[in-house]
Amino acid sequence: MAMDPFRLCAPFDSTALLRLIRAEFAFMEHRIDPPSSMHRLTAESIAQQADTGEIWVIGTPAPIACIFLTPKPHALYLGKLTVDADHRGQGLARRLIDLADQRARALNLPLLELQTRVELVENHAAFAAMGFAITARTAHKGFDRPTSITMHRGTHAMTEDTERHAMKMAKKKAARDKIMATKTDKKGLIIVHTGKGKGKSSAAFGMIFRCIAHDMKCAVVQFIKGGMSTGERDLILGKFADACAFHTMGEGFTWETQDKTRDTEMAQAAWEKAKELIRDETNKMVLLDEINIALRYDYLDINDVVTFLVEEKPEMTHVVLTGRNAKEELIEIADLVTEMELVKHPFRSGVKAQIGVEF
């Protein structure tokens, strides 16, 4: 019998392969919880694995060993490594692992990755003997204890330093994936950009353009700016007016208008428009540009703004509020607060605001 691994390519009869896997995975019954994914394996899922990944076998006409290979962004995943009981001790598993190593290098993947169950300590030792190291312990859905162990090994072509780095990154990714698995809730956020540094409105408009790119309806209300044309406003009104409602309600900064009564009236009108846009649940994000300035000068009542955002903002609507000196009451209810820190600014060296940088 030929002992060289060969790749299965569709179409093929998966009956003998399915029989091999079921027979050799049967020893796990009553040892592991939850049951093996082998029970969900079908002729159709095997064919899909051969189409989207790779299946390598040893033995013909009936396979005596097999391995499933699935490329991932950071590693080549090894699954269903199986050797017939009558052919163990012949180095077939190691031969398939070496084959996986060659395939990983051909695919420019630095690591081999596999998972085994916590209870199968003999598997842990066997894989450790082949150079695999435990990088994570994870739990199946519904379990409050680890049920699986993830192991990685660098490919033989890697230097010791490169392998050490790859293993370190694999452990970081596993830890990150574990954290991300707990972050399932979605909600509309209250986002505040404040501080003396430049970039508060720029960052907020970046999110608005993201919404536009994802076909998410959004809106902008500018509370103070209004005395000059800006690139963001011209682009949105000229190209994306259907996706983003844009309302410039201010008449310039307070040192330009020098009319507090008028400024207050304009800010109040802008707030009424903002509430209207936020109540409209088709708007997935509403940017309230420079509202913090209006709040700072008491053109608006901070308690009114906070109460509305807490009690009336739709659950899945994001609201972004920008401007220096954000009120503590606003920071208290916000989900995300970023303070832009001023380290250096060209204005202090005599350079005026410039197109493309400031507006």
Q: Give me the CATH number covering residue 286.
A: 3.40.50.300
Burial 86-118 (b: 16+ CB within 10 A, else e): eeeeeebbebbbebbbebbeeeebbbbbbebbb
Find residue 285's DSSP bridge partners: 218, 318
Q: Which among 258, 328, 261, 252 is positioned nearest to 295, based on CA atoms?
A: 328
**Both tokens assigned to 226:** 């209004």
Domain end residue (candidates: 126, 158, 181): 181
Range from 21-30, 113-122, 165-174 carrying the lowest mean pLDDT? 165-174
Q: Give me the CATH number covering residue 42.
A: 3.40.630.30
> Side-chain half-sphere of 253: how many Cα atoms within 13 Å?
4
pLDDT of 182: 67
Q: How many CB atoms lie within 10 A of CB 279?
A: 14
Quick check: 228 pLDDT over 80?
no
Quick check: 150 pLDDT over 50?
yes
Domain that holds residue 261: 190-349
Q: How many CB atoms lie within 10 A of CB 14?
A: 22
115 occurs within a structural domain = yes
- Spell out the residues 6+ positions from residue 323 whose beta carbon is closer than 8 angstroms to its own: 193, 194, 200, 223, 224, 289, 290, 291, 292, 293, 294, 295, 296
pLDDT of 61: 86
- Give 63's DSSP letter: -
pLDDT of 255: 43
Are 155 and 119 in the same domain?
Answer: yes
Q: What is the number of structural domains in the chain?
A: 2
Query: Looking at the whole model, is its pTM more than 0.75?
Result: no
| Beta-strand pair 190-194/318-322 | parallel
Q: Cα–Cα distance between 185 and 170 in angstroms, integer?
A: 26
* Helix, strand, or coil (residue 132): coil
Are 209 and 151 in the same domain?
Answer: no
Are 342 and 215 in the same domain?
Answer: yes
Q: Cα–Cα distance between 81 and 275 in angstroms, integer?
A: 59
pLDDT of 160: 63
- Kindly report, residue by residue over 192-225, the tens digit of the pLDDT: 999 999 899 999 999 999 999 999 999 999 998 6
1 occurs within a structural domain = no
**Both tokens assigned to 245:** 């409602």
Cα dihedral across residues 46, 50, 55, 61: positive or negative: positive
Residue whose entry in the numeric block shows the structure tokens 């300035």: 293
Q: How confident is the model at residue 158 (pLDDT cuts 50, 70, 90)?
A: low
Are 267 and 196 in the same domain?
Answer: yes
* Helix, strand, or coil (residue 83): strand
Mean pLDDT of the chain: 89
CA 331 to chain CA centroid, nearest Å: 26
Domain end residue (candidates: 149, 181, 213): 181
Number of H helices, E strands in the chain: 12, 13
**Both tokens assigned to 219:** 């809106």
- Spell out the residues 6+ positions from residue 62 whose beta carbon is closer than 8 angstroms to its own: 16, 20
- Residue 190 dihedral angles phi and psi, to the nearest 5°: -100, 115
Q: For the chain, where are the alpha helices, taking DSSP H only? A: 15-25, 43-52, 92-106, 121-129, 160-181, 200-213, 231-239, 254-257, 260-279, 291-296, 302-311, 328-333
* Helix, strand, or coil (residue 310): helix
- Kindly report, residue by residue over 37-83, the tens digit of the pLDDT: 888 999 999 999 999 999 999 998 899 999 999 999 889 999 999 99
Are 67 and 153 in the same domain?
Answer: yes
